[in-house]
Structure 1
Amino acid sequence: MTKLSETQSLILTAGAQRPDNLALPLPKGLAGAAAKMAVGKMIDRGWLQEVEANLRRGEPLWRETGDGHGTTLIVTDAGLLAVGIEPAVVQTIAVIRERAKTEPEAETKAPTLRAGTKQAQLIAMLQRPEGATMDEITAALSWLPHTARGAMSGALGKKLGLVVTSTKDDTRGRIYRINSAV
């Protein structure tokens, strides 16, 4: 393995973890002449390569070329090998990342309800024909009102896909219900 400075090692390992092996942004504190010298040495050794930056994808700029374009830095296969990373591993990870972006997520198993939990009690209360008021929910479950509202919105609404409706009653106050059966 090649002898690297701490700065060179930081730049190469960080670049190996980024999409398309982008070496930018450089570590904090590395700027100006020091950055130019460190990057220049790494380019000379073949560890970094200057390529045209894709501004539409928001790639960071290393330098502007003067004609409205700019360049960015990528870690080469030699740079990956210098820090002990096999280029094939990085390419495999890049392919997995791309597939995750383009392929639809695998169907996830619907969550199962466990009997006797507070969530199950809450669902049972909301499925009653008369529904449940916030006072009834908080008393039965020993929850604060914000916890009950969060459970109805998050666990029931977002995770389980249940629709919790709310109506105003003159005698009981606000009544919460689930109209669909679980």
Structure 2
Amino acid sequence: MTRTLLLNDLQLVLLSTASQRDDGRLLPPPDSIGDRTPAVDKAIKSLLRRGLAAEPDTSDIGDPSPADRDRMIGVRITAAGRAAIGAGQDEGEEDRSSEKPEEKTHPEAESSSRPVSKIGTVLSLLRRDEGATLDEMVAATGWLPHTTRAALTGLRKKGHVIAKDKRGDTTCYRITVEA
């Protein structure tokens, strides 16, 4: 039996941002979240407990018990965290990339070897001439419909202009102006 991993929006944003950073750090929080708050710290602690993020090895540091808040500065996304958001493998695992099929990179992606995220998949669907229906985006990402709608809202907040059209009786979304 497969166990579904449920993450809240804040956790998803933190993991997604960390997966796009070269060092994989969760902090500082992205501009879309704003300042670091107790809610951000709580979300990071939850990710640590679930193995989706990991603290740096501090065994060689003189102070054996740094404050929780200071210790979280170095928290990084783990391979499990990347898998939970569909962001692919950890940079330390790139040596084994030849064992895995090329399907992890999107055909429309630039010449980057970085795996495509779910939001990248949504963007690719929305950039097509025919756009994408909610059902197509849900099928491509594995997200629930309300999560997919929230992602569309997030894209709008980032400056993408998303037009709503009809394809028969079905609503279709398409990016008309890039951010």
Q: Is TM (by shorter chain) over 0.5?
A: no
TM-score, normalising length from structure 2? 0.38
